[in-house]
Amino acid sequence: MSRQVYIGNLALGGGADVRIQSMTTTSTENVSQTLTQIMRLYEAGCELVRVAVRNESDARAIREIRAKSPLPIVADIHFSSKLAILAIESGANKIRINPGNIGGEADIRRVADCVRAHKIPVRVGSNTGSIEKSYLEQYGKSARSLVESALHNVGILEKFGVHEIVISVKASSVPLTVEAYRLLHKQTEYPLHVGVTEAGTKENGIVKSSVGIGSLLLDGIGDTLRVSLTDDPVEEVYAAERILRACDLRKNYVEVISCPTCGRCEWNSMRLAQTVEDHVFSIRKRLKVAVMGCVVNGPGEAKDCDLGIAGGKDKCVIFRKGEAERTVAAEDAEREFIKELDAMLREKGQEV
């Protein structure tokens, strides 16, 4: 198990739930726009949020953002110890830097002293665009060079007394990302921030992130994740939630099993499945429901569920807790199934 750090009040690593993070796309100094986006991310299920600090006014804006944000704030700083210190003094709950690129020893020492004084963690990491030159020359663009480069930055922090560290080693290649994290995982107890970098636009990026992040999470690697999409960051949070659910790392949600439909399917189970998924996506109660196209696989799977429906030509059968409850006409299936579902959610204390 990894060590645990705190980002504000949020525990990360050491057996805590895997945390969803995202990054704002607003200009950080525009406090109202940034806070509006943070609220949207929060409502979507984001647990910590990163903001880019490009200049002093971005760094100073963190004070007001921090004060009004429901989520802990991570400040992302490149190349400047001065901005790092200003961001911390403005209240950043965590900073993301590479000490290797923020200046000389004196600069690094000043940042490290500030980090320790404010008791915040630091994320360091490498990606294929920022591997330290010496490792790139020695190992090429490889899992080894990504890991050595990240651990080199960890070493610098440790030398200056910082031990609250989160590490990342991202590549845009999924196999390289997975190989690097597997290697890193063997060599460190610090919590890991996992993700595939520059994954691309929504459709492609979700697949790349799901394969890369999912493979790691299934093997118990990763304490916080970011799905990196060239899209609205709210989509990153939805995708992250889906990945965690797919890996059985979230329990409090309504799982909807639905079959792909085939030539056997004689009613519109596809539409009902989509309606049900949309109906329950944001509900945080544990329930498993099934929408099955036909009687071949339908009942077998639906029996396993709290609530299920299996279709026929004119009629559908609704199952509840493994027992066939009643038969409804196909045209009433949606209304009747949603009614039963809502009743079951109400039993669990959910307002619907």
Interface positions, 163-222, toward a second copy (CB under 8 A): 172-175, 178, 197-201, 203-204, 206-208, 210-212, 214-215, 217-218
User: Within positions 228 to 247, which residues make up the interface with a second copy, using CB under 8 A?
Assistant: 228-231, 233, 236, 238-239, 242-243, 245-247
Q: Which of 256, 287, 318, 345 binds a second copy (CB under 8 A)?
A: 256
Using the contact rule CB under 8 A, the part of the chain among 81-89, 152-160, 256-264, 320-328 near a second copy is 256-264
| DSSP notation for 93-127 | SEEE--GGGS-SHHHHHHHHHHHHHHT--EEEEEE
CB atoms within 10 A of CB 117: 10
Q: Does 330 bind a second copy (CB under 8 A)?
A: no
* Chain centroid offset of residue 143 CA: 22
From residue 121, alpha-carbon distances to 13, 106, 111 in Å are: 12, 20, 12
Q: Which one, 23 or 111, has the nearer CB to a second copy?
A: 23
Comparing C-alpha atoms, which of 175, 181, 258 is closest to residue 225? 181
Q: Which one, 73 or 162, has the nearer CB to a second copy?
A: 73
Comparing C-alpha atoms, which of 98, 196, 72, 89 is closest to residue 153? 98
- Among left, alpha and beta (phi > 0; psi -120 to 50; other), residue 198 is left
Q: Give the separation between CA 10 and CA 120, rounded to whole angstroms.
A: 11
What are the structure tokens assigned to 96, written together?
């993301």
Q: Which one, 164 or 214, has the nearer CB to a second copy?
A: 214
Least gap, CB of 51 to a second copy (angstroms): 6
Q: Give the separation between CA 318 and CA 278, rounded to whole angstroms.
A: 20
Comparing C-alpha atoms, which of 19, 78, 21 is closest to residue 54? 78
User: Within positions 86 to 105, which residues make up the interface with a second copy, using CB under 8 A?
Assistant: none
75 with 92: CB under 8 angstroms?
yes
Binding mask 280-319 for a second copy (x = CB under 8 A): ----------xxx---xx--xx--x---------------
What are the structure tokens assigned to 230, written together?
């060239």
Binding mask 66-85 for a second copy (x = CB under 8 A): ----------x-x-------
165 with 190: CB under 8 angstroms?
yes
Least gap, CB of 275 to a second copy (angstroms): 9
Binding mask 19-48 for a second copy (x = CB under 8 A): ----xxxxxx-----x--------------
CB atoms within 10 A of CB 61: 22
Q: Which one, 135 or 238, has the nearer CB to a second copy?
A: 238
Least gap, CB of 241 to a second copy (angstroms): 9
Q: Which of 43, 158, 248, 331 binds a second copy (CB under 8 A)?
A: 248
Least gap, CB of 205 to a second copy (angstroms): 8
Q: Which one, 52 or 88, has the nearer CB to a second copy?
A: 52
Least gap, CB of 117 to a second copy (angstroms): 26
Least gap, CB of 130 to a second copy (angstroms): 6
Determine the size of the site formed for a second copy (CB under 8 A). Answer: 78
